[in-house]
Amino acid sequence: TREAPDILSAEFAEDPYPAYRIMRDEFPLLWHEPTQSYIVSRYEDVHTAFRNPVFTTENYEWQLEPVHGRTIVQMSGREHATHRALVAPAFRGDELQEKFLPVIERNARELIERFQGAGQADLVADFATRFPINVIVDMLGLSKDDHDKFHDWYTAIIGFLGNLSQDPDVAAAGLRTREELADYLIPIIRERRENLGDDLLSTLCSAEIDGTQMSDEEIKAFCSLLLAAGGETTDKAMASLFTNLLTHPEQMAAVREDRSLISAAFVETLRYSPPVHMIMRQPAEDVELSGGVVPAGSTLTCLIGAANRDDRKYAEPDRFNIFREDVLIDRAFSAAANHLAFSLGRHFCVGALLSKAEVEVGTNQLLDALPNLELAEGFVPAEQGVFTRGPAELPVRFTTN
């Protein structure tokens, strides 16, 4: 029999998709010694792990707690429900449209203006890594002058979270961020409580459920979480969307022509190249998955990247096709989503609609501003990362007006 793939190998980091297929077909419930976790890769199993409340997220603590503090991602049960109810209303569709669409539009425009005249850009460094962070800083009602500072904190946090080789300098930079962000944010949060405005930070300061409000420290932790959960994901989704369209010119032409296809292109990108490839869960009791038992208290690694390419669920799963009919676009941004990129159930991404608004605005503006957009000559796109994954760079050229 064949040897089971290793999710920590160099070969896997280079291209996980062949290993995902072997796992789905031959090792659907795999014990992985180095991470001391069970791994599931089939759509049905990952779906169950997200949907069934017997699976909690307690075991995220070791990974997230040192850099953010305690956030809703690690919470479960009543504590999670309360905190989710405190923060979720600020990310609902109508709230976003009214308050934050102009913020999203302005930030896309300001970034594009910086490189529009150059005829070339790196859409990762010049746009994707900055756009969602600038949007979050402005939504929170913090100073625009601090966009670069937040970009540095963001880079340190995602470096820490993706630090598989345990580089001590990367770890130290991430941990430093926790102190620096607290020193910066706590005084602003205290001040904002006295002078509430129309911004997201004010909403978080005043939100109340059953007499519970968020503490200064909890608001700070949530803001820190937003940088990673809302930044890195939308960053990688934008970059992957453009990579996918630029490598499929006929689909790019269709999207340029009919902009209502952008949301289909986004959803297919989330299926085909999801920003988050792995999510952890912990069963509170023994659970049977793919014929094996996942014991209570163990760690379960759920491979979103593998589940989204499962041929038991999708026809021709390795083909990027914005016209496919087995992905339901109208459900893709709700907890009923039929791809798994935002997870499902209780922890379903709070920011799904925000990411949709950002990607639609960003894509529309980039297509308007950059005629004849194409990959830089000789550039071969490649993805990077294991827990999260996306293009490290995307050099392009275009015509200037």
158 binds ligand HEM (CB under 6 A): no
Q: Which is nearer to ligand HEM, 79 or 180 (CB)?
A: 79
Number of Cβ atoms within 10 Å of the Cβ of 1: 5
Total chain residues near ligand HEM (CB under 6 A)? 24
Shortest approach of ligand HEM to residue 117 CB, angstroms? 29
Segment contacting ligand HEM by CB under 6 A, of 33-41, 242-250, 323-331, 341-349: 341-349
Residue 233 in the binding site for ligand HEM (CB under 6 A): yes
Minimum gap (Å) between residue 93 Cβ and ligand HEM? 13
Query: Which of residues 48, 299, 355, 363 is near ligand HEM by CB under 6 A?
Result: 355
Rounded Cα distance between 35 and 283, Å, is 16
Say whether 71 sits in a helix, a strand or coil: coil
Report in angstroms how near the CB of residue 135 gets to ligand HEM at its nearest: 8
354 binding ligand HEM? (CB under 6 A): yes
Residue type, 148: D
Positions in 83-102 near ligand HEM (CB under 6 A): 84
- What are the residues facing 279 on neighbouring strands? 302
The C-alpha atoms of residue 177 and residue 161 are separated, in whole angstroms, by 12
Residue 229 binds ligand HEM (CB under 6 A): yes
Q: Cβ closer to ligand HEM: 153 or 342?
A: 342
| 243 touches ligand HEM (CB under 6 A) | no
Q: Between residues 128 and 398, which has the closer beta carbon with respect to ligand HEM?
A: 128
Side-by-side strand order, sheet with 29-32: 29-32, 37-40, 299-303, 278-283, 55-56
The label of the residue with tokens 């609902």 reads: 92
Please state the closest distance from residue 214 (CB atom) to ligand HEM, in A. Answer: 13
Strands 374-375, 299-303: pairing is: unpaired
Query: In the complex with ligand HEM, which residue's Cβ is closer, 108 or 237?
Result: 237
Toward ligand HEM, which CB reaches closer, 150 or 398? 150
- Give yes or no for residue 303 binding ligand HEM (CB under 6 A): no
Q: At its nearest, how many Å lie between ligand HEM and the CB of residue 119?
A: 29
Q: Kindly report the backbone phi and psi dihedral angles of residue 287, in degrees, each rounded to the nearest multiple of 5, phi listed first.
A: -130, 140
Beta-carbon count within 10 A of 323 CB? 10
Do residues 17 and 309 make contact, with C-beta atoms less than 8 angstroms apart? yes
Angle between helices 61-68 and 168-194 (to 10 degrees): 60
Give alpha helix (H) positions in 116-194. 131-140, 147-161, 168-194
Q: Could you give the count of Cα atoms lying within 13 Å of 53 in the half-sphere of its Cβ?
A: 7
Helices (H), 6-100: 10-14, 17-26, 43-51, 61-68, 77-87, 93-95
Question: What is the DSSP pairing of strand 37-40 with strand 299-303?
Answer: parallel
Whole-number Cα distances in Å, 245 to 60, 115, 231, 270 = 34, 20, 21, 13
Minimum CB separation of residue 29 from ligand HEM in Å reads 20
Tell me which of 76, 234, 244, 301 binds ligand HEM, using CB under 6 A.
Answer: 234
Q: Is 273 helix (H, G, I), strand (E, B) or coil?
A: coil
- Among 111, 112, 226, 264, indicate the residue that binds ligand HEM (CB under 6 A): 226
244 binds ligand HEM (CB under 6 A): no
By the rule CB under 6 A, 230 interacts with ligand HEM: yes
Least Cβ distance, residue 163 to ligand HEM (angstroms): 19
Instruction: Please say whether the dihedral angle defined by the alpha carbons of residues 124, 125, 127 and 133, taken in this order, is positive or negative.
Output: positive
* 234/236 Cα distance (integer angstroms): 5
Q: Which of 29, 181, 225, 322 binds ligand HEM (CB under 6 A)?
A: 225
341 contacts ligand HEM (rule: CB under 6 A): yes
Q: How far is the CB of 302 from ligand HEM (least distance, A)?
A: 9
Is 237 a binder of ligand HEM (CB under 6 A)? yes
Which CB sits closer to ligand HEM, 366 or 398? 366
104 lies in the binding site for ligand HEM (CB under 6 A): no
Interface residue list for ligand HEM (CB under 6 A): 57, 72-73, 84, 136, 225-226, 229-230, 233-234, 237, 275-276, 279, 341-343, 347, 349-351, 354-355
